[in-house]
């Protein structure tokens, strides 16, 4: 139970690739610890870009996750004793039933849960974890960044293969881990323009 028994909230903080979501998560973790409060960091096992247990921002800050969930795993709720906040990285890769459990944790254990992740894949379709968060979260907040090609706000994640944009009709895998060399933040106009440019090459 959090301080004074106040009802905890489930937060979904989403943004395009490169919007400093993980940096934000690590900053929140630091702030809690500065106040001598206990936090847990959770990540999906699918995200192995920086190591099986590492949560790392593009700015280079990193920390080891306390909980790593495989596709068939659920959160061990015995670990929540005395926890002041649960922070979740790359939440889009979590199964819908895990999001349901996060909702349960906020209401039954009164532990705030803050989830960070992408809203949609490069085909502009909702990830299942993100969809469930949009359905269940108490607070939905956008972490903003600008388009890689202009100064407008980025709303999509543009996938690049050999320097060319890949369109939503691509037959390739929806989930393919990568950083700046694979995905770029894009506004709607540049998303369409880059795909058209690649299609006409």
Residue 56 has pLDDT above 80, yes or no: no
Q: What is the mean pLDDT of the chain?
A: 89
Q: Is 90 a catalytic residue?
A: yes
Question: For residue 126, what are the CA distances in angstroms to 120, 176, 186?
Answer: 4, 15, 16
How many distinct structural domains can be found in the chain?
2
53 and 131, same domain (yes or no): yes
Average pLDDT estimate for 93-118: 97
Among candidate residues 127, 115, 191, 199, the one with its CA nearest the CA of residue 154:
191
* 113/178: higher pLDDT: 113
51 and 123, same domain (yes or no): yes
Q: Would residue 147 count as lying in a domain?
A: no
Helix (H) or strand (E) holding 151: none
48 and 129, same domain (yes or no): yes
Q: Would residue 115 count as lying in a domain?
A: yes
Global pTM reads: 0.89
Q: Domain residues for 161?
A: 156-199
Residue 176 has pLDDT above 90, yes or no: no
Active site residue: 62, 64, 90, 135, which one?
90
199 pLDDT band, cuts 50/70/90, is confident
175 pLDDT band, cuts 50/70/90, is low
What is the sign of the dihedral through the CA atoms of 12, 18, 19 and 24?
positive
């Amino acid at each position: 139970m959090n301080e004074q028994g106040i009802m905890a909230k489930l937060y979904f903080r989403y943004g395009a690739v490169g919007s400093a979501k993980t940096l934000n998560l690590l900053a929140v973790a630091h702030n809690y610890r500065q106040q001598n409060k206990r936090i847990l960091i959770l990540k999906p096992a699918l995200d192995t870009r920086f190591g099986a247990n590492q949560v790392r921002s593009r700015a280079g800050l990193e920390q080891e996750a306390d909980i790593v969930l495989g596709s068939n795993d659920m959160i061990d709720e015995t670990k929540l004793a005395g926890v002041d906040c649960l922070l979740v990285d790359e939440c889009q890769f979590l199964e819908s039933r895990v999001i349901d459990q996060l909702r349960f944790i906020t209401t039954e254990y009164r532990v705030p849960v803050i989830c960070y992740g992408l809203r949609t894949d490069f085909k502009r379709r909702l990830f299942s974890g993100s969809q469930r968060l949009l359905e269940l979260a108490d607070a939905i907040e956008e972490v903003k960044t600008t388009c890689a090609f202009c100064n407008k706000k980025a709303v999509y994640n543009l996938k690049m293969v050999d320097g060319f944009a890949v369109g939503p009709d691509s037959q390739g895998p929806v989930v393919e881990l990568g950083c700046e060399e694979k995905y770029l933040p894009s506004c709607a106009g540049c998303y369409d323009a880059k795909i058209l440019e690649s299609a006409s090459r």
